[in-house]
């Protein structure tokens, strides 16, 4: 089938590459010529494991094309995936300007039947707005109602995890398709069935429903996952106060099959492009409908507070004024296996350390370039603070002479460091771990002053008195 993907961000690029991988003829459109140039030169503008290799294969097989030509993109695909960004607006609602502009371009130039697929995460009712925009453009061309210019708008939300997006797409646990019951909607459903047929050969993974329910499903899924994270973070903060071990608690409740282990890890808060934005958007949708989502309001508040917990532990130990102190920071991306810095807890942690006068040496396996760009924007009004932030090319470079190590992202390479070396180069053997990577008892035996989230703390006896 001929497929058009509008937008080459995380969702669009992964969707396009994976559909090309299974044999479809894919045309990827982006209005950013820089992105298209990178892709046509064999690069990839985002970090996602396995994606660059997949794009290289499908380009060599001539099954994927990258272009800024809007008219050509509309002409190419029988199925038009809208996978553009929906950033949060000032009031927390999803900004649909890029979605609606993509719809407008389809209406301006389409000829023949089109299935328009909302792949971007969009509020309930967006398909109706997309449908109206396309119809308006067809009316301008005096083609409204023409049999040759019929179309159907389908909701097909993505459920991809950054860092595992390729595997998630190629081995989906479910494919949600929301379509209308009219003749055009039934025709669209058949085309979508053909499109996803390779993923349903072992067993049927597709869930068919109405459009609004499909739109709602995506938000509800992310809201539930965000809720689990904030719940465990609330429990971890209480565990700190009452002397319980949140890791033991996690195992105890996760063994209940009604609860399970996923998304039950305590830490320094969630970030990224999905959970913060989608929770805010769902709260806003509820407000516009005259309803308050009190649980989700609390989820958002808990997560915002949680990003300060790590710095609070540091200042409780070292004092509010951190002038003259140097901190090694491991991990900047909001999660492992991505370079995404959107809403990353590291942004709050590093900014707070700098604001209190500290020097920060930071390392991330893949996100340093993006982190440098983000912090230059975040701190453009505080050049003196920005001057005290340096980025290193290895994790060991951050350590020498630092007063403490701060861990913000749980990259695999941080899980088993050389603790003997670490102790020998740190000014004082202190670790503030926002991801609970190590066992407190083991750290105590090594003589490391270890502060984690919701786990028992014991002062090592061999630490120097001034540590």
Contacting residues for 461 by C-beta, under 8 A, at least 6 apart? 447
Residue in the block written with tokens 């003829």: 25
pLDDT tens for 41-60 read 999 999 999 999 999 999 99
Report CA-CA distances (Å) from 251 to 232, 242, 261, 406: 12, 18, 7, 25
- pLDDT score at 201: 87
Q: Which residue ranges make up the annotated binding site for NAD(+)?
A: 30, 35, 86, 121, 162, 277, 342
Looking at CATH, the fold of the domain delimited by 307-451 is given as: Rossmann fold (3.40.50)
Q: What is the CA radius of gyration of the chain?
A: 25
- pLDDT score at 467: 44
Quickly count: other Cβ atoms within 10 Å of residue 91's Cβ: 11
CATH code of the region 219-305: 1.10.1040.10
CA 367, chain centre distance (Å):
14
Q: Which residue ranges make up the annotated binding site?
A: 30, 35, 86, 121, 159-162, 218, 263-267, 271, 277, 335, 342
Q: Which residue has the higher pLDDT, 7 or 203?
A: 7
Separation of alpha carbons 446 and 271, rounded Å: 32
CATH code of the region 2-209: 3.40.50.720
Q: What's the token pair of residue 150?
A: 């019929």
- pLDDT score at 465: 42
The one catalytic residue among 18, 28, 268, 274: 274
Report CA-CA distances (Å) from 245 to 138, 211, 275, 437, 448: 62, 44, 26, 14, 18
pLDDT tens for 197-224 read 999 988 899 999 999 999 999 999 999 9
Question: What burial letters (b/e) apply to 318-346, b meaning 16+ CB within 10 Å?
Answer: beeebeebbbbbbbbbbbbbbbbbbbbbb
Report CA-CA distances (Å) from 145 to 12, 116, 132: 30, 17, 13
Separation of alpha carbons 197 and 207, rounded Å: 13
- What pTM does this model have? 0.91
Band (pLDDT 50/70/90 cuts) for residue 156 is very high
Separation of alpha carbons 11 and 158, rounded Å: 7
Show me where the domains of the chain are located.
Answer: 2-209, 219-305, 307-451
Tell me, yes or no, if 268 is annotated catalytic: no
Domains 2-209 and 307-451 share a fold: yes
Contact 315, 322 (CB under 8 A): yes
Q: Which residue ranges make up the annotated binding site for substrate?
A: 159-162, 218, 263-267, 271, 335
Contact 130, 155 (CB under 8 A): no
Band (pLDDT 50/70/90 cuts) for residue 461 is low
Separation of alpha carbons 398 and 330, rounded Å: 8
pLDDT tens for 138-152 read 999 887 666 667 999
DSSP reduced 3-state for 30? coil
- pLDDT score at 89: 79
Q: What is the mean pLDDT of residues 112-132?
A: 95
């Amino acid at each position: 089938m001929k497929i058009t993907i509008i937008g080459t961000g995380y969702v669009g690029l992964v969707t396009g590459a994976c559909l090309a991988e299974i044999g479809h003829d894919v045309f990827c459109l982006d209005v950013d010529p820089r992105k298209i140039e990178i892709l046509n030169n064999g690069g990839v503008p985002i970090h996602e494991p396995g994606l660059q290799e997949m794009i290289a294969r499908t380009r060599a097989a001539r099954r994927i094309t990258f272009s800024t030509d809007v008219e050509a993109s509309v002409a190419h695909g029988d199925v038009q995936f809208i996978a553009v960004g929906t950033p949060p607006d000032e009031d927390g609602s999803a900004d649909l300007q890029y979605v609606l502009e993509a719809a407008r371009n389809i209406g301006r130039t389409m000829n023949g039947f089109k299935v328009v697929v909302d792949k971007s995460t969009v509020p309930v009712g967006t398909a109706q707005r997309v449908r109206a925009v396309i119809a308006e453009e067809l009316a301008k061309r005096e083609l409204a109602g023409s049999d040759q210019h019929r179309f159907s708008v389908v909701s097909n939300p993505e459920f991809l995890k950054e860092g595992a997006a390729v595997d998630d797409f190629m081995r989906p646990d479910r494919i949600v398709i929301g379509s209308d019951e009219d003749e055009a909607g039934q025709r669209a459903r058949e085309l979508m069935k053909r499109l996803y047929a390779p993923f349903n050969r072992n067993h049927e993974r597709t869930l068919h429903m109405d459009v609004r329910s499909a739109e709602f499903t995506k938000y509800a899924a992310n809201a539930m996952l965000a809720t689990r994270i904030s719940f465990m973070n609330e429990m971890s903060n209480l565990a700190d106060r009452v002397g319980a071990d949140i890791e033991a608690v996690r195992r105890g409740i996760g063994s209940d099959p009604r609860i399970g282990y996923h998304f039950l890890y305590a830490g320094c808060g969630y970030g990224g492009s999905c959970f913060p934005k989608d929770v805010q958007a769902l709260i806003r949708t509820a407000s516009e409908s005259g309803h308050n989502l009190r649980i989700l309001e609390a989820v958002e508040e808990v997560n915002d507070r949680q990003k300060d917990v790590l710095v609070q532990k540091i200042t409780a130990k070292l004092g509010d004024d951190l002038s003259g102190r140097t901190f090694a920071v491991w991990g900047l991306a909001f999660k492992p296996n991505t370079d995404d810095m959107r809403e990353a807890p590291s942004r709050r942690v590093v900014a707070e350390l700098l604001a209190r006068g500290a020097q920060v040496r930071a390392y991330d396996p893949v996100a340093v370039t993006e982190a440098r760009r983000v912090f230059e924007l975040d701190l453009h009004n505080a050049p003196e603070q920005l001057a005290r932030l340096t980025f290193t090319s290895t994790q060991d470079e951050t350590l020498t002479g630092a007063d403490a190590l701060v861990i913000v992202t749980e990259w695999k390479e941080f899980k088993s460091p050389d603790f003997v070396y670490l102790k020998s180069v740190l000014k004082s053997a202190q670790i503030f771990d926002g991801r609970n990577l190590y066992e407190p008892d083991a750290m105590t035996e090594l003589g490391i002053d270890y502060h984690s989230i919701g786990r028992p703390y014991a002062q090592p006896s061999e630490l120097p008195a001034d540590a």
